[in-house]
Structure 1
Amino acid sequence: MTELNQRLSQLQAYLAADPANPHLLLELADLHMQAGGQHEHEAALQRLFAVAPGHAGGRILQGVGLMRQGRLDEAVAVFQALRDDGGEDPALCYNLAYALMLQGRYEEAEPHAAMAAKSLALLPQAGPLHVRALHFLGLLKDAVLVAESALQRHPEHLSLYGLLAMLYLDQENLAAAERVAHQVLELAPADPDAATVLGMLALSKQDLSIAGPLLRQACASKPNSGRAQMGLGLVSMLEGQLDEAESKVVQALRAIPGHVGSWHVLAWCRILSNRPTEAKEALQEALRLDRNFADTHGGFAIVEIMEGHLQEAQQSVRRTLGLNPESFPGQYAQSLLLQSAGRAEQAKAIHDQLLNSAVLPDGTKLNEAVARAMALASF
């Protein structure tokens, strides 16, 4: 008999003698949920609410059970009602923030995550949740400050170090990102965030032999890591394995649908596979997320050239280079337009320069492997 089943048997015996004990009923409901007994879990909650209507702990547990069933709207309603009644229990704040984040409601989630993180010693997972909420909101400086402050008080929380390394990477503080990520992996070799950071840094240096294993390790530890999956997609792209690259990027986008750079990488997979219509679909998603991102308009210019719409492409190039004169897609499209206009020498100079020094939207440098992959595309 497992330890959980032993405890369930004990509780049943105690409840036979004291059937209206709310503490025992709450634990019974919790254990049934852990054991996967949904019907028994709900029955125990009904018994609890019969003797203690509106029991706060029971309602929190009810919300957690709803979350486990994927009934997020109902879970949020339960948690929010408790918060509206003045509830400040750290577990309540944490679970409400978590449920809201699962729905992509990061701005609403952040203050509840911040409240939960005040009790970091009791609820260590609240720290990473708050940092992730700030990260998703694009508040990188705030996220870094919160993570650094929390680690000063609780240096034992290694998962926060992995997140901090990721934040440094997004701030382009590469030396700090690498230093912290190495420190994390020395103490916690399976940390997915640290492995992702080091994998992406290796990828930026074109060291695929290091990047690939690190990113695969990150995905093994955290299968829903969009960043790691996207990194593996870039590894495959650089190796010229475009079908595999696209599969990984599509998988990444299930986890991070709001990441503009991943939509760009998907568009590139399709551009390099000579599928302009599908590339345009990916670019439309990127445009929906950010209408002023130069590389998105540059991607449209390349697609328009592939489709023979040169006048529209010229307009897209002007729009792209107006937003960012150094945009890789914009400059690449410009070189293709010059080539189509018979100015082959000028086009070749731009083309060669781009292949040697350009950067993809996620910060990964193009190299000769991508140049070979680009030869697969028929413009």
Structure 2
Amino acid sequence: MDALAQLEKMEGYLAQDPGNFELLARVIDLALEAQQWQRALTHTEAAVKQFPDDPYMRYRRGHALFALQQYAEAEAAFASVDDHNINLSISLAIAQQAQGKHQETVDTLLPWEDAPDLPAHGLLALLRSMHHVAQLEEAMAIFHTHQARMMQEASVLSAVSLILLDLNQIEEAGRMSEAALALGPRPLEALLTSGTLALGFATPDIAVELFNEVLTLQPKEGRSWAGLGMASMLKRDMHGAIAQLEKAAQYLPTHIGTLHTLAWCKIFIGDIAGAGQVFEQALALDRNFGESHGGIAVVAALRGEREVAQAAIERALRLDRQGLAARYAEMVLSGVTADPERFRALAFRIMSKHPSSFGNNLAEVVQRFDVH
């Protein structure tokens, strides 16, 4: 008899004896096993009313709420359980992570960082949230504590590969992504890492295959859209790059490097007004970033707005004396550059200063462009 059939049978018994704790617990477990989430929640709500101090019922209620994607309510349910154990902490942390509360996730799981029985899904949640809050070296130290028993866990190796990529440990990132993919599953982070490395080796066709595979798993993965945009740039398909980078910016709206790359692509095709709008968007995120002011200066210079351009150049250079965009704007104003290839070469070098949205090796990608 499958779980659903057993559930229906046990629910009949429960209707005759609703106060039976063991029977109610069995019905809840069967409902969860049969993925009858709403029925599980209904039974756990009744259980919590009948047995308000029982941690088991509160814990099961949290799982039913989580399955129904009611993450805040699930977090509250798990937090209400007065029991300090590793499984409860992991459940609480995963509910926090589902809401984007990454620092809270880290705080919940760090007490278990050295636990020899920390399961793979708990370590994975901790590593991913540490990645989100930029605790990359700390995440790697924790991984090394558990590495020996995690080498068959594709999801963990996959997450680690992307952390290594963002630490610019390129060879290690490649080895870890290969190890993850060799285990059979095709986890998202490993595909992102391998795709980014394929870009770094100027093999855009391979990169495109990998990024597209990511998008079949997660269509809103901004780093994959950014990777496709860079691959299109490698092929000199600026219109394709713009479409893909616009998608990336949609899902990574606060990533300034993506916005700058998009703006320069628009300049490449002569969409000066569009480039200006994107640079303004980047500037609104951080008014102290010199290259955003430099981009505004380039747009103004190309429009012939000398006073606006000069003011933006001055602001850019106050913030960054080495700002390439501001220097190029000066060249436009002086009339010494009208060579499109020279312009592209400088623009690519400007973009190489920004960390990419899919790893920190955009400079290495740009260095492989056939421009000088």
Alignment TM class, shorter chain as reference: 0.7 to 0.9
Q: Partners in 2 of 1:31 and 1:283 — Cα distance?
A: 55
What SS does the aligned partner of 2:335 have? Answer: coil
The alpha-carbon deviation at position 197 of structure 1 amounts to 1.0
The alpha-carbon deviation at position 112 of structure 1 amounts to 0.9
Q: 236-245 or 55-64: which moved more?
A: 236-245
Matched with 1:225 is 221
Matched with 2:299 is 303
Matched with 1:183 is 179
Q: Partners in 2 of 1:336 and 1:287 — Cα distance?
A: 17
Q: Partners in 1 of 2:249 and 2:151 — Cα distance?
A: 33
TM-score (norm. length: structure 1): 0.78
Q: Is 1:301–1:316's contact at 8 Å kept on the other side of the alignment?
A: yes
Of 328, 331, 334, which aligns to 1:338?
A: 331
Q: Is 1:232–1:245's contact at 8 Å kept on the other side of the alignment?
A: yes
Q: Deviations 1:53-98 (Å, cap 9, x if unpaired)?
A: 143233233334444444444333333344xxx4323343223323
- Structure 1 residues not aligned, in runs of 5+: 372-379
Work out the number of aligned pairs and report it: 363
Q: Is 2:298–2:332's contact at 8 Å kept on the other side of the alignment?
A: no
RMSD: 3.6
User: In the superposition, relative to structure 1, how do residues 114 and 157 fare at CA in structure 2: closer, same or farther (>3 Å)?
Assistant: farther
Q: 230-239 or 299-308: which moved more?
A: 299-308
Q: Is 1:335–1:350's contact at 8 Å kept on the other side of the alignment?
A: no
What SS does the aligned partner of 1:366 have? Answer: helix
Of 124, 132, 135, which aligns to 2:131?
A: 135
Of 351, 356, 372, which aligns to 2:343?
A: 351
The alpha-carbon deviation at position 149 of structure 1 amounts to 2.0
The alpha-carbon deviation at position 131 of structure 1 amounts to 0.9
Q: Partners in 2 of 1:264 and 1:160 — Cα distance?
A: 32
Q: Partners in 2 of 1:313 and 1:30 — Cα distance?
A: 67
Of 151, 164, 169, which aligns to 2:165?
A: 169
Matches within 5 A, 1:191-206: 191-206=187-202
Matched with 1:51 is 50
Q: Is 2:282–2:292's contact at 8 Å kept on the other side of the alignment?
A: yes
Matched with 1:156 is 152
One-letter identity of the residue aligned with 1:53: P
Q: Is 1:356–1:368's contact at 8 Å kept on the other side of the alignment?
A: no
Matched with 1:366 is 366
- Structure 2 residues not aligned, in runs of 5+: none
Matched with 1:12 is 11
Q: Is 2:317–2:326's contact at 8 Å kept on the other side of the alignment?
A: no
Q: Is 1:110–1:130's contact at 8 Å kept on the other side of the alignment?
A: yes
Q: Partners in 2 of 1:129 and 1:232 — Cα distance?
A: 27
Q: Is 1:25–1:48's contact at 8 Å kept on the other side of the alignment?
A: yes
Q: Partners in 1 of 2:88 and 2:276 — Cα distance?
A: 43
TM-score (norm. length: structure 2): 0.79
What SS does the aligned partner of 2:152 have? Answer: coil
State the identity %: 26
The alpha-carbon deviation at position 125 of structure 1 amounts to 0.9
Q: Is 2:301–2:332's contact at 8 Å kept on the other side of the alignment?
A: no
The alpha-carbon deviation at position 198 of structure 1 amounts to 1.6
One-letter identity of the residue aligned with 2:199: L
Give yes or no for the alignment of 1:108 onto 2:104: yes
Of 185, 204, 210, which aligns to 1:208?
A: 204
What SS does the aligned partner of 1:344 have? Answer: coil
Q: 165-174 or 107-116: which moved more?
A: 107-116
One-letter identity of the residue aligned with 2:132: F
One-letter identity of the residue aligned with 1:43: T
Matched with 1:87 is 83
